[in-house]
Chain A
Amino acid sequence: MEGRPEEDSQLFTRAQRGDTAAYEEIVQRYQQVAFRTAYVITGSAADAEEAAQDGFVKAYRALGSFRSGAEPKPWLLKIVANEARNRVRSAGRRHHLELRLVERFRPGDAAPSPEAETVAAEDTRRLLDLVNGLSDEDRLVITSRYLLELSGEETAAALGIPEGTVKSRLSRALARLRATLGEVSHA
């Protein structure tokens, strides 16, 4: 019989005592969100992998700074996102991030689908195109908050800005996106 998954706090306590197996479990739990966050920042899967990997190693060395009872996700994302930004800076450029839809929404889908579904798919594709076309700042905040589904605190940690700035930046980005969406709809 499998036991209940160990709580994050227990894993962190063990890892702080030097238990690398516990830390490996932490990496397994958070590697997806860490990798995707780094991908959104760097625009490159290869760079994101390196940033996430180095971020996790760096986080291990900084485990002493992790406060007992704190949320691990923002703490880890802050470190990984810093690594990702450092890579963008040292490369002197950011790869153009172009998010894509899963296969079923791609144009040319041969499978027959009801008309309503096709329209919905087209709307989704158009919305993603608009998100892809936003400025870096707008795209980062919208992608973090909605597509990575990060909380306000996590978004702030990932973007390295205060939570209040996330709110204001998000509000402006949504307004711009809404305006663009309106222009497209009326075109």
Chain B
Amino acid sequence: MPELEQQLSALAAEIDWPATPNLAPAVRSALPASGEVAREARRRGGPVGTTFGRRWALAAAAVIIALAALVAYQPSREAIASWVNVHLFVQRVHVVPTPSPLPAGPLGERLGLGSQTTLADAQKQVSWHVMVPSKLGEPDEVYLQLPPDGAVKGEVTLVYAMRPGIPVAGETGVSVLVTEATGAIDANFFGKMLGPGTTFEEVTVAGHRGYWIAGSPHQFFFIDASGKFRSETLRLATNTLLMDWGGTVVRIEGKLTKAQAMEIAASLR
């Protein structure tokens, strides 16, 4: 080993690390009831990506993951994922994990959308064309989420703080979110994962297939190109239009009417 590497290795023993806290009691008290994980593991037999944080604990506990339908559906998730880049699943939940009301900081940052960037920079870092809805104009903020936190080929979110005629979502202070990632929607799986009471309607905008989901908060699942299960919250907990835009999955969230959402989608350029 060269000298510098040896010196660095020797340095390891000399570091005054902060004392490691005993995490076990706190972790144990935060674990779900015994048996829940085992049941999920048996049902799932594969990865899951749920969001967990202390502030979100109550909400996350209410997210009952209906993965049985997926596992029951043959062939396997890996094979399914190989058909297209991304499949989407939407599930109604009782309590949607939302950030604390209006904490300080940029709009998108507190929604966990990734790193703030500019439209031009985001475009440089992803392989697909990032579309902007001319109906809403230039976004107030742009965020980029790259792997491992984001989807395999990245995810770009356009944040619109306020727009005329569109109410601001109370807890987040955001009017509209437009999120884009490369992938596709498969209706065969999409419909199977919906909870009862969710309004779900197939729509077409400019020749592109999409789904209008209204009335309830949603948890959003998909398998990315690597076969990994991903879980995301539809962050505004409001109506959502999901579009399969020729290889790009676009989701438009906000307190929008169906007509408004479709108008926004139609103006994507």
Which of A's residues lie within 8 Å of B, judged by CB? 15-20, 23-24, 27-28, 31-32, 34-36, 39, 45, 48-50, 52-54, 56-58, 60-65, 78, 82, 85-86, 89-90, 92, 99-103, 105, 123-124, 127-128, 131, 142, 146-149, 160, 174, 177-178, 181
A36-B17, A50-B54, A61-B40 provided; 14 other pairs, C-beta below 8 A? A27-B23, A53-B26, A53-B27, A60-B37, A61-B48, A62-B50, A64-B40, A64-B46, A89-B109, A92-B109, A123-B7, A146-B11, A147-B8, A178-B4
Q: Please, could you name 10 A-B residue pairs with CB atoms under 8 Å apart, sorted by A? A: A18-B37, A27-B27, A31-B23, A31-B24, A36-B20, A64-B37, A64-B47, A101-B15, A128-B14, A160-B148
Contact with A along B32-56 (1 / 0, CB 8 A): 1011111111001111111011100
Q: How many Å lie between the Cα of A35 and that of B26 in the bound state?
A: 14
Q: Is B54 a contact partner of A146 (Cβ separation < 8 A)?
A: no
Instruction: Given the known inter-chain contacts A16-B41, A147-B8, A147-B15, please indicate yes or no for A35 contacting B23, CB distance below 8 A.
Output: yes
* Nearest CB in chain B: distance from A42 CB, A: 11
Among B110-118, B153-161, B187-195, the one that faces the other chain is B110-118
* Nearest CB in chain A: distance from B107 CB, A: 12
B257 within 8 A of A: no
Q: How many Å lie between the Cα of A69 and that of B45 in the bound state?
A: 15
8 smallest CB-CB distances across A and B, nearest first, come from A65-B47, A18-B38, A64-B41, A146-B8, A45-B18, A58-B52, A32-B20, A100-B16
Q: Is B5 a contact partner of A18 (Cβ separation < 8 A)?
A: no
B30 within 8 A of A: yes
Which residues of A sit under 8 angstroms from B17, Cβ to Cβ? 36, 39, 99
Which residues of B sit under 8 angstroms from A17, Cβ to Cβ? 38, 41
Which residues of B sit under 8 angstroms from A131, Cβ to Cβ? 8, 11
Query: A14: nearest residue on chain B (CB-CB)?
Result: B38
Contact with A along B103-135 (1 / 0, CB 8 A): 001100110101100000000000000000000
Q: Is B5 a contact partner of A89 (Cβ separation < 8 A)?
A: no
Q: Is A24 a contact partner of B27 (Cβ separation < 8 A)?
A: yes
B12 within 8 A of A: yes
State which residues 210-269 of B face A: CB under 8 Å: 229
Q: How many Å lie between the Cα of A105 and that of B13 in the bound state?
A: 12
Q: How many Å lie between the Cα of A48 and that of B17 in the bound state?
A: 12
Count chain B CB atoms within 10 A of each CB in A57, A160, A177 and give the residue with the most.
A57
Q: How many Å lie between the Cα of A85 and that of B27 in the bound state?
A: 19
Instruction: Given the known inter-chain contacts A31-B20, A45-B18, A124-B11, please indicate yes or no for A57 contacting B105, CB distance below 8 A.
Output: no
Query: B30: nearest residue on chain A (CB-CB)?
Result: A57
B147 within 8 A of A: yes
B102 within 8 A of A: no
Q: Is B37 a contact partner of A61 (Cβ separation < 8 A)?
A: yes
Q: How many Å lie between the Cα of A63 and that of B21 in the bound state?
A: 23
* Nearest CB in chain A: distance from B105 CB, A: 6
Which residues of A sit under 8 angstroms from B35, Cβ to Cβ? 18
Which residues of B sit under 8 angstroms from A127, Cβ to Cβ? 7-8, 11
Which residues of B sit under 8 angstroms from A23, Cβ to Cβ? 27-28, 31
Instruction: Given the known inter-chain contacts A64-B47, A127-B11, A178-B4, please indicate yes or no for A54 contacting B54, CB distance below 8 A.
Output: yes
Which residues of B sit under 8 angstroms from A63, Cβ to Cβ? 37, 41
Which residues of A sit under 8 angstroms from B26, Cβ to Cβ? 53
* Nearest CB in chain A: distance from B231 CB, A: 10
Count chain B CB atoms within 10 A of each CB in A24, A28, A62 and give the residue with the most.
A62
Q: How many Å lie between the Cα of A47 and that of B102 in the bound state?
A: 21
Q: Is A103 a contact partner of B48 (Cβ separation < 8 A)?
A: no
Q: How many Å lie between the Cα of A102 and that of B14 in the bound state?
A: 6
Q: Is B16 a contact partner of A49 (Cβ separation < 8 A)?
A: no
Q: How many Å lie between the Cα of A3 and that of B35 in the bound state?
A: 27
Q: Is A56 a contact partner of B112 (Cβ separation < 8 A)?
A: no
Q: How many Å lie between the Cα of A178 and that of B6 in the bound state?
A: 12
B22 within 8 A of A: yes
Which residues of B sit under 8 angstroms from A148, Cβ to Cβ? 12
B149 within 8 A of A: yes
* Nearest CB in chain B: distance from A98 CB, A: 11
